[in-house]
Structure 1
C-alpha cells in the first residue's frame, strides 16, 4: 500500500546514561546519508553496522555507527522503491521493493552489495508487497496487500532462496481492501524467532500473530485509529509479549488529530494502553 512521502534524512537515536540515579536520556543526531532520494527503511545490525533503503533504487550502508555512509549499486537502476531492508551483518542483507505486480521483489546480497540475487518476483498483478522480517538468518516472512479474497503472506526457510505463498486456510481472511502501509519496514516484525506480528493499515488496523514462525496465524482487533487511509503504520516488539505500535491517517499527516495513535502491549497484542 503506497503512502504519501516527503523529505529524506537519517536520524541516529542513542541512549546516554547520566548517573545511576537518573533514567536514560535519549539523544537524537541528524546524519548525512549519501542518499538524495527518500529513505523509508533502516536496519541497525549493531552499534556500528547500519543499512537503509528507499526510493530510486537507493541502498546505503554505514560501518562506523553512522558517521559515514556509502551508496551501493542495486538491481534495476533507479526504477524500484526499496521500502524494507533486513541485514545480518555488513555483507549479507535482503531488500524488498514495493509496488504492484512485478515491482514487488526481494533481492539478497552476500558480498556487501557488490551483487544482488533476485529471490522473489511477484507474479500476481493484484498483489502489492509491503514489508518483511527475519527471525533468523534463514527464516523470514513477507506481507502484502490482499488481492481478491486472499491474504498474501510469504514464508522462507532457506534464507530466501525460495518463498512460498501460504494457503488461504493458514492465514486470516482479509477485510475488503485490507493492506499495510509500505512506509518504514515495520508492518512485519519478530518478537522472537518464532513469534511474528503483522500490522495492517486500512481499513481495520488489525494485528496478525503467529507463534510458529509464520506457518499459521490468528488475528486481534485493536483500538487504534482506522479508516479509508488510516490504520497501523509500524510495530516494534522487545520480546514475544511486550510491544509498541503507532498509527495514523496517512492522508492527513500534518493535520491528523486522532488520539488513538500510539500504544503499548504486554500481552502479545491482545490489549493495548
Structure 2
C-alpha cells in the first residue's frame, strides 16, 4: 500500500482554493503511460507516450493531436522539452544496457533526429534547460547505476558527461548550474551549491520515495513523498 505525504501540507488548501471550481475535460486517451509534458504557449504542447514509444503534439490547445515520432523498438520515451515552437529535445531508453536515446528537432517535431553522445551505457529520464545549456539526467544502464548528468551548449555537437557514484538513478530540481537538488527512492534528498562537488543531505526513512520537488523561491520548497508500507 502506498501513502502519499506532502511536506508543508498547510499550504495545500490555499493552493487548491482558486481552482476549486475548475472544469476538467479529457483531451487525449490511449493505452500506455504518459510522461514528459511541455507546452511552449497556450496552443502548442508535446508529451511522450511510453507505452507506444511516441511523441504526441497538439497545435490547437488540445483539441486535436498528431503523432510526431513512433519508435519501433522496445523503448521508453521518458521526456520531451521544447526550447521554443521549433527547437526541442526528447530522451528515453531501451530495455537493454543502452545507450539511452536522445532526439532533436529543429522544425517543431516534423522530424526528430537521433543524436550521438558519449554515454554508451545509459538511460535518460529527464531534460532541463539551464541557461544556454541543455541537461540530460539519467543513470548508467549497468551496475552500478550511477547518476549521470550530460550537458550540451552547442546543440549536441559536443557533450560534457559527469557520473556521480554516490547516487543511483535520480531526478533533479535545478536552480542554476551550481545549485540543484537530487531526489529519488530510499529517502534520497540532497542539495549541492557547488555544481556537485559536495552535497548536503536530509535524513528521511529509507522506505520513503521522493517523487517530486518544487520550490516557490530559493528558500521555500515542497517535497512529495510516497511511503511504502504494509499492514
Q: TM-score, normalised by structure 1?
A: 0.63
1:188 and 2:172 correspond: yes
Higher share in strand: 2
1:52 and 2:47 correspond: yes
**Structure-2 residue corresponding to 1:93:** 88
Q: What's the CA shift for 1:51?
A: 1.2
**C-alpha separation between the residues in 2 aligned to 1:231 and 1:29?**
29
For structure 1, the 5+ residue unaligned runs are 1-22, 181-186, 258-273
Secondary structure class of the residue paired with 1:81: strand
8 Å CA contact 1:49, 1:89 repeated in 2: no
Q: What's the CA shift for 1:123?
A: 0.8
Secondary structure class of the residue paired with 1:113: coil
**C-alpha separation between the residues in 2 aligned to 1:232 and 1:118?**
31
For structure 2, the 5+ residue unaligned runs are 1-16
Secondary structure class of the residue paired with 1:24: helix
8 Å CA contact 1:195, 1:240 repeated in 2: no
8 Å CA contact 1:120, 1:162 repeated in 2: no
State the aligned residue count. Answer: 208
8 Å CA contact 1:62, 1:70 repeated in 2: yes
C-alpha distance after superposition, 1:157-214 (max 9, x if no partner): 2233332212x6xx5x415xx222xxxxxx23433x5465343322341234356xxx
**Structure-2 residue corresponding to 1:220:** 200
Secondary structure class of the residue paired with 1:51: strand
Greater length-normalized contact order (CA 8 Å, ≥ 6 residues apart): 2
Cα distance, 1:86–1:28 mapped onto 2, change above 3 Å: farther
The root-mean-square deviation of aligned C-alpha atoms, in Å, is 3.0
1:112 and 2:108 correspond: yes
Cα distance, 1:197–1:111 mapped onto 2, change above 3 Å: same
**C-alpha separation between the residues in 2 aligned to 1:164 and 1:77?**
29
